[in-house]
């Protein structure tokens, strides 16, 4: 019999669920599962693929470790398979390490700083800055000011920046540079790669000269860069992108932010809390791709903190003179010392010569891939921000791992149906699964409930009831479809929602679970209870 390693089973009942799920796959002749062994055995017709089995197990709420196949370490010439990886960020590193584990020889080509966006100019420095701004905000203003004297802090931006960049350097060395340097099966090449054909790269070396690199398979993990809107006059000004904003040694007195998505929201609030007077120009509304209630909640928070949000507003021209930006809008001129452009990111695909090797791009210049990270060109894969998948580092890393498995003749796919997402504003925004609008677009009828945080004991104890938890379920069945939350620590509670959706739970099953009292995640249980109860009529910790 064949064997699958299963994770997520916690008892013999789980094993029976796995066994039943496998038995229902057309072509499976026999199946049995063991909680004690953490695996399932099966016999099946040749038409049954690993992907079919994995999908069945996942639908039951469990996971298959798909890397159990013996890696194919040789190419057609009997040598170790050679894999080229363009980039050195989250997707690239995950792929290089997994491919090397599976017996491949790997060449990583990086044209800039090793480590990619997240550790250098994205997730890590931004979250340090956001946390510093949060501390500054609490020292100046908190719900407990009647009993704890508030003292507006003095901001030493240079020292904060030094602390921030020290962590960036430490993590880059530990998690990227040192690993690459010490790995005997991975070579790091500094240079810019460009496809010559479907199995050859031309590399313009950073040290000078060129190198021709042949490969059996290649992963494109070239990342993305800030997208700059075509506003007249903008290109002639010293505007900031997130890269410059994160390393500025000064806090401007006045800051304008163009944009309304994640980066715009996070950095606008951080700068405001560090002392800037901030105006946001939003073409639509804040976080307009999300449930409208999310943007409305953040707008109210920002207004309370003195951040001016101009919705449905665009700049028709940008000028810069005498150290000041002047933006022309239908509301009149808006002036500031600094301008931050945060209108999304554009995939780094322009200089790879992809058209000559048949790699398809979408309208946003992102590489089109399937769930296995395959492009339309044989032996060329892609993962991370340069693709048409969501631009999150954990998605990139997961994609890189699955690409490596597939490039070494394994079989793995990336399932994004329960992908959580977090915006590190205060309060945080966290989402997973379907919003109501997305479910309706997919033809699913919904039933939903929204629980204001004034009904969550943890929020009451914090004297901070800004926000809500919204649960979206399938009408009739009550099956969980999605959760949207605006709350302190929403990013911590959303993973419980993701696991509940992955397990196929109903709102009643979620409401019946035990949640620790006086935690924010208890709001998830209370929101589920509202489908059948008036939670205002429950005692504090009623089950």
**Domains of the chain in sequence order:** 2-68 (3.30.70.100), 82-119+165-226+346-407 (3.50.50.60), 234-343 (3.50.50.60), 421-537 (3.30.390.30)
Q: Output the pLDDT for position 318.
A: 98
CA distances from 289 to 82, 262, 437 (A): 41, 11, 10
Q: Output the pLDDT for position 48.
A: 79
Q: What's the rounded Cα separation, in Å, for the pair 433 and 450?
A: 16
Three-state SS at 14: helix
* Cross-strand bridge partners of residue 128: none
Residue 389 annotated as catalytic: no
Q: What's the rounded Cα separation, in Å, for the pair 417 and 434?
A: 9
Q: Residue 46: is it exposed, middle or buried by C-beta count within 10 angstroms (0-12/13-18/19+)?
A: exposed
Q: What's the rounded Cα separation, in Å, for the pair 62 and 21?
A: 10
Q: Output the pLDDT for position 68.
A: 45
In contact, 406 and 371? CB cutoff 8 Å: no
Residue 386 annotated as catalytic: no
Q: Output the pLDDT for position 475.
A: 97
Q: Output the pLDDT for position 69.
A: 40
Max CA-CA distance within the chain? 78
Q: What's the rounded Cα separation, in Å, for the pair 523 and 531?
A: 13
Q: Output the pLDDT for position 442.
A: 96
DSSP result, 15-45: HHHHHHHHHTSTTEEEEEEETTTTEEEEEE-
Q: Per-residue pLDDT tens for 69-102?
A: 444 456 666 678 999 999 999 999 999 999 999 9
Catalytic residue among 14, 52, 254, 394: 14
Between β-strands 277-281 and 308-310, what pairing exists: parallel, antiparallel or unpaired? parallel
pTM: 0.86
Contacts of 356 (CB under 8 A, 6+ apart): 195, 197
Q: How many helices (H) and strands (E) does the chain have?
A: 16, 25
Residue 373 annotated as catalytic: no
* Cross-strand bridge partners of residue 202: 194, 212
Residue 218 annotated as catalytic: no
Residue 62 annotated as catalytic: yes
DSSP state of 15: H
Per-residue confidence of the chain (543 residues) as pLDDT tens digits? 788 989 888 778 888 889 999 999 998 999 999 987 888 989 888 777 777 888 889 888 888 886 544 444 566 666 789 999 999 999 999 999 999 999 999 999 999 999 999 999 999 999 999 999 999 999 999 999 999 999 999 999 999 999 999 999 999 999 999 999 999 999 999 999 999 999 999 999 999 999 999 999 999 999 999 999 999 999 999 999 999 999 999 999 999 999 999 999 999 999 999 999 999 999 999 999 999 999 999 999 999 999 999 999 999 999 999 999 999 999 999 999 999 999 999 999 999 999 999 999 999 999 999 999 999 999 999 999 999 999 999 999 999 999 999 999 999 999 999 999 999 999 999 999 999 999 999 999 999 999 999 999 999 999 999 999 999 999 999 999 999 999 999 999 999 999 999 999 999 999 999 999 999 999 999 999 999 988 887 777 666
Catalytic residue among 93, 118, 218, 505: 118
Hey, how many other C-beta atoms are within 10 angstroms of the C-beta on 491?
17
Q: Output the pLDDT for position 70.
A: 43
Rg (CA), the chain: 25
Q: Output the pLDDT for position 75.
A: 65
From 75, 59, 70, select the one nearest 22 (Cα to Cα).
59
Q: Output the pLDDT for position 291.
A: 96
Rama region for 478: left / alpha / beta (φ>0; ψ in -120 to 50; rest): left
Residue 9 annotated as catalytic: yes
Q: Per-residue pLDDT tens for 182-229?
A: 999 999 999 999 999 999 999 999 999 999 999 999 999 999 999 999
């Amino acid at each position: 019999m064949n064997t699958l390693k299963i994770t997520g089973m916690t008892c013999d009942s789980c094993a029976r669920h796995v066994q039943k799920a496998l038995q229902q796959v057309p072509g499976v002749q026999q199946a049995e599962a063991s909680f004690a062994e953490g695996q399932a055995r099966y016999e099946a017709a040749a038409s049954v693929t690993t992907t079919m089995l994995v999908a069945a197990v996942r639908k039951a709420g469990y996971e298959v470790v798909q890397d159990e196949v013996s890696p194919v370490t040789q190419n057609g010439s009997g040598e170790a398979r050679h894999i080229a990886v363009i980039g050195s960020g989250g997707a690239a590193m995950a792929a290089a390490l997994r491919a090397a584990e599976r017996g491949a020889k790997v060449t990583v080509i990086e044209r800039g700083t090793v480590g990619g966006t997240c550790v250098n100019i994205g997730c890590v420095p931004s979250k340090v800055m956001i946390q510093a701004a949060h501390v500054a905000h609490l020292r100046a203003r908190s719900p407990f000011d009647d009993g704890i004297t508030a003292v507006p802090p003095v901001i030493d931006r240079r020292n904060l920046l030094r602390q921030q960049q020290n962590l960036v350097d430490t993590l880059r060395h530990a998690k990227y540079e040192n690993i690459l340097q010490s790995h005997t099966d991975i070579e790091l090449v500094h240079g810019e790669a460009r496809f010559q054909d479907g199995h050859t790269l031309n590399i313009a070396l950073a040290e000078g000269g060129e190198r021709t690199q042949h490969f059996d398979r290649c992963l494109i993990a070239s990342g993305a860069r800030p997208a700059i809107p075509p506003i007249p006059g903008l290109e002639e000004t010293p505007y900031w992108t997130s890269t410059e904003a994160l390393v500025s040694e000064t806090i401007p007195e006045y800051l304008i932010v163009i944009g309304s998505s994640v980066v715009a929201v996070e950095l606008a609030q951080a700068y405001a809390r560090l002392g800037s007077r901030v105006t946001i120009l939003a073409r639509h509304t804040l976080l307009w791709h999300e449930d409208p209630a999310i943007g409305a909640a953040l707008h109210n928070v920002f207004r309370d903190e003195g951040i001016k949000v101009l919705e449905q507003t665009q700049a028709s021209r940008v000028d810069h003179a005498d150290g000041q930006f002047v933006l022309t809008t239908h509301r009149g001129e808006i002036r500031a010392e600094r301008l931050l452009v945060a209108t999304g990111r554009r995939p780094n695909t322009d200089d790879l010569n992809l058209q000559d090797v048949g790699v398809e791009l979408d309208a946003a210049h992102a590489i089109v891939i399937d769930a296995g990270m395959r492009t339309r060109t044989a032996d060329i894969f892609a993962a991370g921000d340069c693709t048409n998948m969501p631009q999150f580092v954990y998605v990139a890393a997961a994609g890189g791992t699955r690409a490596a498995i597939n490039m070494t003749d394994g079989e793995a796919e990336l399932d994004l149906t329960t992908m959580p997402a977090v915006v590190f504003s205060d309060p945080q925004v966290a989402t997973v699964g379907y919003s109501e609008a997305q479910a309706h677009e997919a033809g699913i009828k919904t039933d939903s409930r929204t629980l204001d945080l004034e009904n969550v004991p943890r929020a009451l104890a914090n004297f901070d009831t800004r926000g809500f938890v919204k649960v979206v379920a399938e009408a009739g069945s009550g099956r969980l479809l999605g959760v949207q939350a605006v709350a302190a620590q929403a990013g911590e509670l959303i993973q419980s929602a993701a696991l509940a959706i992955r397990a196929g739970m109903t709102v009643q099953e979620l409401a019946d679970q035990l949640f620790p009292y006086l935690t924010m995640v208890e709001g998830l249980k209370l929101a589920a209870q509202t489908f059948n109860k008036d939670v205002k009529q429950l005692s504090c910790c009623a089950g």
